[in-house]
Amino acid sequence: MTTTRRRFAALVLACGFGLAHAGSYDDFFVAIKRDNPQEINELLRRGFDANTVDPSGRQGLFLALQEGSLKAAEALIAWPKTDVEWHNAKGESPLMIAAFKGYKDLVRKLIARDAAVNKTGWTPLHYAATKGNVEIIEILLDENAYIDAESPNKTTPLMMAAMYGSLPAVKALLQAGADPTLRNELGLSAVEFAQRANRPDAAELVAGAIRAKQPKGKW
């Protein structure tokens, strides 16, 4: 083969690879939205990078969890090259999204892949508490999630549960040892979070926990 022909062949191969990769890119994200694990696995076996981000900057696993494509998410979690510790610009991880959405089985699978239960800033426990997902709160605590984790402004999971979550979530966190006396950078306690959300039942539950910690006559 002459030098010219070799260069031409190399150019054809390079162009073909680029076109194939472009096609795979579209196919990958379509397969996620369609919740098609077979197509995803085929693309991964052919060498497609599971950690490729979509035009909005979302990694495939993260997108699958956001979209509720649970079979696609499971396939990506099972793929050993998927980065389960990928974070978006807000510092959110796949485990945080799974905890928020209430995907109990996927939370367990992510933890089995060593997804971080504890992290700086907002944590999976904050997200589970915000949605009142008691089962996931318990899973995370069993995996040594820090119960009084502080967000960037020192808001705790108990505060989030008191304002946004369920009464059983507030109770679960208090029974597991959450500190009801903590305040965030604005000086707000979990009681005040509940009051701001017009949730007297949650406010009274937290207030009762504070009274139980105080000597008689101090509350």
Predicted confidence (pLDDT) per residue in 18-33, tens digit: 433 557 999 999 999 9
Query: Has residue 52 got a pLDDT over 70?
Result: yes
Domain end residue (candidates: 89, 107, 132): 89
Structural domain tally of the chain? Answer: 2
Give, in order, the Cα–Cα distances in Å from 216 to each of 133, 169, 212.
34, 27, 9
Largest Cα span, the chain: 96
Using one digit for the tens of pLDDT, what is the confidence trace for 83-100? 999 999 999 999 999 999
Non-local (6+) Cβ contacts of 66 within 8 A are 58, 97
Are 74 and 4 part of one and the same domain? yes
Q: Do residues 190 and 184 lie in contact, with contact meaning Cβ atoms separated by under 8 Å?
A: no
Are 127 and 216 part of one and the same domain? yes
Residue-range definition of the domain harbouring residue 179: 117-219
Are 166 and 215 part of one and the same domain? yes
Closest CA to 141 of 174, 113, 163: 174
Whether 192 maps to a domain, the answer reads yes
Residue 214 is predicted with a pLDDT of: 80
Are 75 and 153 part of one and the same domain? no
Whether 15 maps to a domain, the answer reads yes
Closest CA to 154 of 133, 181, 134: 181
Q: What is the CATH number of the domain that holds 132?
A: 1.25.40.20
Are 140 and 59 part of one and the same domain? no
Are 174 and 126 part of one and the same domain? yes
Whether 111 maps to a domain, the answer reads no
Are 138 and 185 part of one and the same domain? yes
Secondary structure percentages of the chain, helix, strand, coil, to 5:
60, 0, 40
The residue-averaged pLDDT of 147-153 equals 97
What is the SS3 assignment for 186?
coil
Are 57 and 122 part of one and the same domain? no
Burial call 104-116: b when 16+ CB within 10 Å, e when fewer: eebbebbbebebb
Phi and psi for 32 in degrees, rounded to 5?
-65, -50
Query: Has residue 144 got a pLDDT over 50?
Result: yes
Query: What's the distance, CA 97 to chain centroid?
Result: 3
Mean pLDDT of the chain: 90
Domain end residue (candidates: 53, 74, 89): 89
